[in-house]
Amino acid sequence: MNSFFSAKIVPIFYISIGLIFLIFPEIPQNDISSEYSNSKISLIFTREIGILFIIIGFLIRKIYLTSISVYRLMNTTFIIVMLLLASIGPMMYLLLPEKPQQLIFTTIINLIFVFLYSYERKL
C-alpha cells in the first residue's frame, strides 16, 4: 500500500485545530476557564499550543512526503504521541470544574488516530 490515510487526515486535523487556537484563542480558552479570567498570558499560551499543533501536523505530513518507508517505521512513535495527546483531555476534564465536552471529543479523535495507525501498521 503506497498511500496512508493517516498521512492525510491527521495533519489536516492538527493544522485546522492549530489555526483555530492561533487565530481565535478565545474559543478554546473559554471552554476551560471562566469568561472573566481571560488574561493576555493565557491567550498567548493558547496561541503557543496552536503553533505546536500546526508543527505536529506539518511534521507528520513532511515525514510522509519525504519517505514513505520512514513514515512506516515511525508508526509506533506516532501511536505513542497520539496516546499522549489523548491523555491530556481526560486529565483536564477531571481537573476542571466546568467539564467541557470538547476535551472528550478530542480524546476520542486521538484514540481513533491510534486505531488508524495500528491498522496501518498491519498493512
Q: What is the secondary structure of the chain as a DSSP string?
A: ----THHHHHHHHHHHHHHHHHH-THHHHHHHS-TT---HHHHHHHHHHHHHHHHHHHHHHHHHHH-HHHHHHTHHHHHHHHHHHHHHHHHHHHH-SS--HHHHHHHHHHHHHHHHHHHHHH-
Say if 59 falls within a structural domain: yes
Say if 21 falls within a structural domain: yes
Domain with 79 in it: 6-122
Say if 72 falls within a structural domain: yes
Say if 112 falls within a structural domain: yes
> 12 vs 26, which has greater pLDDT?
12
Predicted pLDDT at 43: 83
Range 63-71 average pLDDT: 95
Say if 1 falls within a structural domain: no
Say if 26 falls within a structural domain: yes
Supply 106's cell numbers: 478530542
Say if 89 falls within a structural domain: yes
pTM of the predicted protein model:
0.86
Predicted pLDDT at 99: 83
> 46 vs 51, which has greater pLDDT?
51
**pLDDT averaged over every residue in the chain:** 89
Predicted pLDDT at 38: 58
Say if 65 falls within a structural domain: yes
For residue 25, pLDDT beyond 80: yes
Range 105-112 average pLDDT: 95
Predicted pLDDT at 122: 87
Count of structural domains within the chain = 1
Range 46-75 average pLDDT: 95
